[in-house]
């Protein structure tokens, strides 16, 4: 189970963006639902759930520790790259898949992932006589989200995770308005608590300088849509401390927010990777949207 794929795809279903902070998960019930569907699909008992996720320096956080303590769940951790991307997760999935197939550990493998990089591992596992089925997370239209066509062709079949499993175990985060206030530091003054701005559409070309407008002109609608979706979800779910850290940390985009921006634009454009110029354009437009969302208070809060 590629947890990065599982949760980002579930977030897209519920919020329209892959930002994982926008959802909360009943992990035990989610694992139970996945096991029940896997057993129905394979007509065999599930031996074990391998839970592949990323962690800072490979050290599990408190939530991951609890997940690793669930019955028949094996926690397998990679690490975060400098831009928030998963490192080592695909490698661990591929190696485990091939090793378990070679050792005859199971007859059927259910793979919850959509990553093209796993195609060769799936084919190698099949050489050892096992079946590999894909289990895709449904989007808002109950269609498979984010599955590589190469991976689909390599696998023995593609099934959709039961929509009710997602809808009953994953919910949208909605903090009360009081919890969404933001600490800002006005110029020449002490920090104070300011009212969090109401939700709205934030990006307009009029707010951007010439350099930023030229930089985003290649994909203006897609970039605007992705930025608006991620920022709206972030504002709806972030704590006061997270909001203040976002503004104070410019020009560094928080890791989880940056990952959602890159993932959502990649999905929107139908590409597996974004070149550095497009990444720069996307981040510039994100900060322009923040300027509109937070106005003079947000600009004053920045160093």
Do 195 and 54 belong together in one domain?
Answer: no
Indicate the residue among 115, 144, 172 that finishes a domain.
Answer: 172
Strand locations in the chain (E): 23-25, 49-55, 73-80, 86-87, 108-111, 131-136, 157-160, 170-172, 182-184, 192-194
Do 294 and 187 belong together in one domain?
Answer: yes
Whole-number pLDDT of residue 211:
36
Q: Cα separation of 152 and 158, whole Å?
A: 7
66, with CB counted inside 10 A (0-12, 13-18, 19+), is middle
285 or 272, which is more confident: 285
For the record, the structure tokens of 234 come out as 């972030």
Beta-bridged to residue 110, according to DSSP, are 133
Indicate the residue among 125, 149, 172 that finishes a domain.
Answer: 172
For the record, the structure tokens of 293 come out as 């969302």
Question: Kind and range of the H or E element at 39?
Answer: helix 27-42
Q: Give mean pLDDT, residues 98-123.
A: 96
Q: Are 166 and 13 in contact (CB under 8 A)?
A: yes
Is the pLDDT at 106 greater than 80? The verdict is yes
Q: What is the mean pLDDT of the chain?
A: 81
| Three-state secondary structure call for residue 202 | coil
Total of domains in the chain: 2
Do 197 and 295 belong together in one domain?
Answer: yes
Do 157 and 266 belong together in one domain?
Answer: no
Do 100 and 131 belong together in one domain?
Answer: yes
Do 28 and 157 belong together in one domain?
Answer: yes
Do 236 and 161 belong together in one domain?
Answer: no
Indicate the residue among 121, 143, 172 that finishes a domain.
Answer: 172
Do 243 and 280 belong together in one domain?
Answer: yes
Question: Rounded to two decimals, what is the model's pTM?
Answer: 0.75
Do 122 and 188 belong together in one domain?
Answer: no
pLDDT (tens digit per residue) in 118-163: 999 999 999 999 999 999 999 999 999 989 999 999 999 999 999 9
Do 208 and 69 belong together in one domain?
Answer: no
54, with CB counted inside 10 A (0-12, 13-18, 19+), is buried
Tallying the residues shown for the chain, one arrives at 303
pLDDT (tens digit per residue) in 56-90: 878 899 999 999 999 999 999 986 655 555 568 89
Do 22 and 134 belong together in one domain?
Answer: yes
222 or 210, which is more confident: 222
Do 109 and 220 belong together in one domain?
Answer: no
Domain that holds residue 43: 3-172
């Amino acid at each position: 189970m590629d947890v990065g794929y599982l949760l980002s795809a579930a977030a897209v279903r519920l919020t329209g963006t892959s930002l994982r902070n926008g959802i909360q998960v009943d992990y035990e019930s989610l694992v139970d639902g996945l096991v029940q569907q896997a057993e129905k699909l394979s007509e065999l008992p599930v031996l074990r759930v391998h839970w592949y996720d990323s962690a800072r320096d490979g050290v599990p956080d408190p939530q991951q520790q609890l997940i690793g303590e669930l019955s028949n769940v094996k926690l397998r951790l990679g690490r975060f790259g400098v831009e928030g991307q998963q490192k080592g997760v695909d490698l661990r999935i591929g190696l485990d898949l091939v090793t378990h197939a070679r050792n005859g550990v199971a007859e059927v493998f259910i793979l919850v992932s959509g990553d093209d990089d796993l195609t060769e591992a799936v084919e190698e596992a099949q050489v050892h006589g096992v079946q590999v089925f894909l289990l895709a997370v449904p989007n808002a239209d109950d269609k498979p989200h984010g599955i590589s066509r190469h991976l689909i062709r390599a696998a023995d079949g593609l099934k959709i995770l039961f929509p009710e499993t997602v809808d009953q175990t994953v919910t949208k985060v909605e903090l009360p308005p009081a919890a969404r206030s933001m600490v800002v530091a006005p110029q020449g003054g002490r920090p104070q608590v300011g009212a969090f701005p109401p939700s709205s559409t934030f990006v307009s070309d009029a707010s951007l300088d010439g350099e930023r407008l030229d930089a985003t002109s290649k994909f203006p609608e897609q970039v605007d849509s992705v930025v608006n979706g991620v920022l709206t979800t972030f504002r709806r779910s972030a704590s006061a401390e997270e909001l203040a850290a976002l503004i104070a940390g410019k020009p560094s985009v928080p890791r989880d927010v940056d990952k959602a921006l890159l993932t959502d634009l990649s999905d929107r454009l139908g590409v597996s990777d974004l070149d550095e110029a497009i990444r720069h354009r996307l981040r510039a437009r994100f900060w322009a949207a923040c300027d509109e969302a937070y106005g003079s208070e947000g600009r004053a809060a920045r160093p």
